[in-house]
Amino acid sequence: MDIEGTVAVVTGGASGIGRATALELARGGADVVIADVHDERSDEVVREIEALGRSALGVHCDVARDDDMERLARHALADFDRVDILFNNAGVPLLGPPERVPMEDWDWVLQVNLYGPIRGVRAFVPGMLERGRGYVVNTASIAGLFAYSWDSVPYITSKFGVFGFSEGLALYLRPQGVGVSVVCPGLVETNLGELARLAGVDDAVEWSAGMEDFRPIGADEVARQVVDAIRADRFLVLTHPEFAPLLQERAQDHDAALAARIARLPPPPRL
Ligand SMILES: NC(=O)c1ccc[n+]([C@@H]2O[C@H](COP(=O)([O-])OP(=O)(O)OC[C@H]3O[C@@H](n4cnc5c(N)ncnc54)[C@H](O)[C@@H]3O)[C@@H](O)[C@H]2O)c1
């Protein structure tokens, strides 16, 4: 899809990958709606987009809430008539032992990370299908492609859900003129830690394992790859290609890959 002249909605657009992608889309000629719970940062990004000569709108939107998503759609369509690109990107991390994480925390991470994109699709894809044109990008994670550790089972669960949702959407929407991509970043320097929750245990340091080898990259790099994928109609955005061999090995022998990962990780602390 050519970005010039499009209208994009970016959830989680006030910070990190969302902010960087909103700016990259604006540089490509898109008008952008920023949907986020952080109003102050959202206003800043709106000003940055306007300084690039594009129109922008900030809408307070908690993607975990039906009424917020409906309001977002109303405001976006009132200001811009249509939405061509939907970037379902808002997400939050949750660490903790799966048998001890309270249901309200499971609900939180799944409502934001998985039901958020589902709500986004329900709000904006009908218009795209009517026009036979549009693009949906969902942010999963490398944690949506393989379980990198035992420390983040709730987050991994939500991101595997986003990956499957995206692949299914690609089968359903592409033949109808709507493109789909899924972004699977490794470690990216953002503000993600601010909203992170630890549940069921007290010690975050003791409970964190498995990310020591991850190579951090900047959000701008991810944004360039996302916008390239939209232009090229490419499904998978694997920001850290060093994970590709690991995924290939796992596809060949899942049990061997699991055994190798368990051998590499420190054992989970006994609770
Ligand atoms: N940073 C990483 O290393 C990394 C790696 C893989 C995947 N991701 C994913 O990238 C996405 C973007 O995260 P980021 O790293 O840019 O973090 P970030 O915290 O910098 O940005 C996330 C934005 O989402 C917003 N947000 C959080 N909950 C929300 C909600 N309920 N409704 C609306 N907005 C909400 C936050 O206010 C924030 O502005 C997330 O889905 C995250 O899971 C990040």
Q: Residue 212: what pLDDT?
A: 85
197 found inside a domain: yes
The CA 91 to ligand 1 mean position distance, Å, reads 4
The verdict on residue 98 lying in a domain is yes
**What pLDDT score was predicted for residue 213?**
80
List, for residues 120-142, the tens digit of each pLDDT value: 999 999 999 999 999 999 999 99
* In a domain? residue 137: yes
Indicate whether 257 belongs to any domain: no
Domain that holds residue 106: 7-243
3-class DSSP state of 110: helix
Give me ligand 1 centre to Cα 36, in Å: 10
Express as a percent the part of the chain with pLDDT over 90. Answer: 98
Q: 255 burial class (0-12, 13-18, 19+ CB within 10 angstroms)? A: exposed
DSSP string, 46-90: HHHHHHTT--EEEEE--TT-HHHHHHHHHHHHHHHS---EEEE--
From 21, 36, 63, 166, the mutation candidate for ligand 1 (largest count of ligand atoms within 8 A of CB) is 36
Give the number of the atom of ligand 1 that is nearest the alpha carbon of residue 189: 1
Identify the CATH number of the domain in which residue 99 sits: 3.40.50.720
The residues lining ligand 1, judged by C-beta closer than 6 Å to any ligand atom, are 11-12, 14-18, 36-38, 41, 61-64, 89-92, 112, 139, 141, 185, 187-188, 190-192, 194-195
Residue 258 domain-assigned (yes or no): no
For a mutational test of ligand 1's pocket, the pick from 190, 214, 215, 240, i.e. the residue with the most ligand atoms closer than 8 A to its C-beta, is 190
5-54 pLDDT, tens digit per residue, is: 999 999 999 999 999 999 999 999 999 999 999 999 999 999 999 999 99
Domain count, the chain: 1
Q: Quick check: 176 pLDDT over 90?
A: yes
Task: Judge whether 100 lies within some domain.
Answer: yes
Residue 60 lies inside a defined structural domain of this protein:
yes
Residues contacting 238, CB < 8 A, separation 6+? 142, 145, 184, 244
Residue with tokens 């795209």: 128
pLDDT at 237: 98
Residue 66 maps to a domain: yes
Residues in the chain: 271
